[in-house]
């Protein structure tokens, strides 16, 4: 039918995501993240079961009974009063969110679903920071150490390292849309996954390092 909207190009789902020379949304990148988040979920759930007194003890091959002192500390009880669930269970839900968000979307989601990638980053990055802070509090405040808490914090920090590149690609893409269009509406449409109109190469200023990149399927509308 003449006069209809121009046909959007077919996306290459495996194309590299600027500014990287690889695709951080590929399953090769995301499946290990999901597996690691699942391991974190199991570790945190196990500690939460102890805090709920559904099991009698918590396994610790290095620090022994210090783990119980950490999990039963005033810091843990204070967090329970704030959130109404043990802090370990709170962490388990965060890990579960990491796994769910990691599995959602296509291998081009950094561009087609930036909102999903940003939610993924919001779930992953604060968890890593909180995990590191809680481990520091073990020694500085509680005066004891918990082996599984340290394992959980290490998993969180690895997740931050493994996930940040995809989040960064989505932010770079949204910035490029803004620089090419000057339109808040275009940026919003790009954020929620709607195609925006006027195809081609985005200006080199849109990408860190000044490299030109082909943003297939990202049709950026001029501002009005």
Inside any domain, residue 85: yes
pLDDT for position 24: 94
Inside any domain, residue 68: yes
Inside any domain, residue 138: yes
Each residue's pLDDT, cut to its tens digit, for the chain (224 residues) gives 444 444 444 456 668 888 999 999 999 999 999 999 999 999 999 999 999 999 989 999 998 888 888 888 877 777 777 878 888 888 899 899 999 999 999 999 999 999 999 999 998 887 778 777 777 777 777 778 889 988 998 999 999 999 999 999 999 999 999 988 888 898 999 999 887 754 444 433 344 444 444 454 444 443 33
Inside any domain, residue 188: no
pTM of the model: 0.79
Closest by Cα among 43, 10, 24 to 170: 24
165: Cβ contacts below 8 Å, ≥ 6 apart: 20, 24, 29
pLDDT for position 141: 76
Torsion of CA 13, 18, 21, 27, to 10 degrees: -40
Inside any domain, residue 63: yes
Inside any domain, residue 214: no
CATH number of the domain encompassing residue 90: 1.20.1440.130
Inside any domain, residue 12: no
Inside any domain, residue 5: no
**Count of domains observed in the chain:** 1
Give the range of the structural domain holding residue 79, as residue numbers without chain letter.
Answer: 27-173
């Amino acid at each position: 039918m003449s006069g209809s909207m121009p046909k959007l190009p077919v996306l290459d789902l495996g194309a590299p995501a600027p500014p990287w020379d690889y695709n951080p949304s590929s399953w090769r990148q995301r499946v290990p993240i999901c597996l690691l988040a699942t391991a974190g979920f199991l570790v945190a759930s196990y500690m939460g079961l102890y805090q709920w007194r559904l099991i009698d003890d918590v396994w610790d091959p290095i620090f022994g009974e210090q783990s119980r002192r950490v999990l039963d500390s005033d810091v843990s009880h204070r967090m329970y009063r704030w959130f109404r669930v043990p802090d370990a269970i709170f962490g388990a839900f965060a890990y579960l969110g990491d796994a769910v968000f990691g599995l959602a979307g296509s291998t081009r989601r950094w561009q087609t679903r930036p909102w999903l990638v940003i939610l993924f980053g919001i779930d992953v990055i604060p968890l890593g920071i909180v995990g590191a802070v809680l481990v520091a509090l073990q020694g500085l405040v509680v005066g004891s150490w918990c082996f599984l808490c340290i394992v959980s914090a290490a998993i969180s920090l690895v997740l931050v390292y493994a996930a940040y590149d995809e989040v960064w690609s989505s932010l770079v893409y949204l910035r490029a849309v803004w620089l090419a269009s000057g339109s808040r509406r275009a940026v919003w449409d790009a954020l929620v996954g709607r195609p925006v109109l006027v195809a081609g190469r985005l200006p080199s200023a849109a990408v860190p390092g000044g490299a030109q990149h082909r943003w297939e399927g990202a049709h950026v509308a001029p501002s009005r």
